[in-house]
Amino acid sequence: MKKYHGAFIKNEREIGCLRQANRMVANILDAVGDMVKPGITTAMIEDLALKMCAGYGVKPAFQGYCGYPYATCCSVNEQVVHGFPSNRPLDEGDIVSVDMGVEYEGFVGDAARTYAVGNVSDMARRLMQVTEESLYVGIDKARAGNDVYEIGAAVQAYVEKAGFGVVRRFVGHGVGARMHEKPEVPNFRPSMPGLVLHNGMVIAIEPMVTEGTYEVDILADKWTAVTRDGKLAAHFEHSVAIRPEGPEILSISDRGLNRETWRA
Ligand code: MF3
Ligand code: CO
């Protein structure tokens, strides 16, 4: 595979595998959206994801990655990312971020969405809306010739204008044969110039947006990231290929590109 400043340039076959891997992830996230309601547990989400992976004959990408114990990350309310599935039932008014990855034919698909559990507060709804919209604002900058940091600059401007915060501690990333490849894709504007995007690069763009402070803490389980002020956080992620025609979102399900799935 060709490399440009450490970032892999994928050919058509490789992008095809990444498209398939991400389609499976998006199908799983659609199915998660169908099941999320008050009373279910995030352990049930994990179970569904595992069963669908088995049905597709693919490996969950997160399980075992740096010792992460589950196939999904299920992060509720003030949990930002990397929450463990649990047996605590979700309550009406909760929001739950589900992040999922699979490995298909040696290539990794990676995407995430936040869902409303029943009726949620106007604040929660606006947070999810702004986070999802900021993802598309970022995707629009994922074009050959752009500095990769233009993505984060656009995400940050959009989010902060809405009065919310962008998490600095976790970033998006190149994705391919490995889940985390170069370049890093921050959701804020770094002070230095970044790598110039080229056609054939594939990146996961994943804004994590907070109601209050963007500072996070990690719980004693060593994984779960929570907002320092205990306020809400949301997370949306797509894997995107840089193409001559512009950004191609790879994490599209058989139902198509479903936006605002949190509205349910
Ligand atoms: N989408 C997340 C990421 O890109 C998921 C990683 S969770 C882990 O970093 F457990 F696998 F690390
Ligand atoms: Co990711």
pLDDT in tens, 41-94: 999 999 999 999 999 999 999 999 999 999 999 999 999 999 999 999 999 999
Predicted structure pTM score:
0.98
Sole residue written with tokens 């995407």: 111
Looking at residue 258, what is its pLDDT?
A: 87
Query: How many angstroms is it from 137 CA to the middle of ligand 2?
Result: 17
Token reading at 182: 């170069």
Cis bond upstream, residue 183 (ω within 30): yes
Q: How far is CA 106 from the centre of its chain?
A: 20
Edge-to-edge strand ranges of the sheet holding 181-185: 181-185, 172-174, 202-205, 238-243, 246-249
Q: Which ligand is in closest contact with the Cα of 81?
A: 1
CB atoms within 10 A of CB 180: 16
Looking at residue 253, what is its pLDDT?
A: 98
pLDDT tier, 25 (very low <50, low <70, confident <90, very high otherwise): very high
DSSP state of 85: P
Return d(Cα 212, Cα 221) in angstroms, integer. Answer: 23
Query: How many angstroms is it from 229 CA to the middle of ligand 2?
Result: 24
Q: Is 73 in the pocket of ligand 1 (CB under 6 A)?
A: yes
Q: Which ligand is in closest contact with the Cα of 112?
A: 1
Sole residue written with tokens 């929450």: 83
* Mean pLDDT of all residues in 115-128: 98
Contact 49, 32 (CB under 8 A): yes
The angle formed by the CA atoms of residues 77, 74 and 251, to the nearest 5 degrees, is: 110
Q: Is 204 in the pocket of ligand 1 (CB under 6 A)?
A: yes
Nearest-CA residue for atom 8 of ligand 1: 62
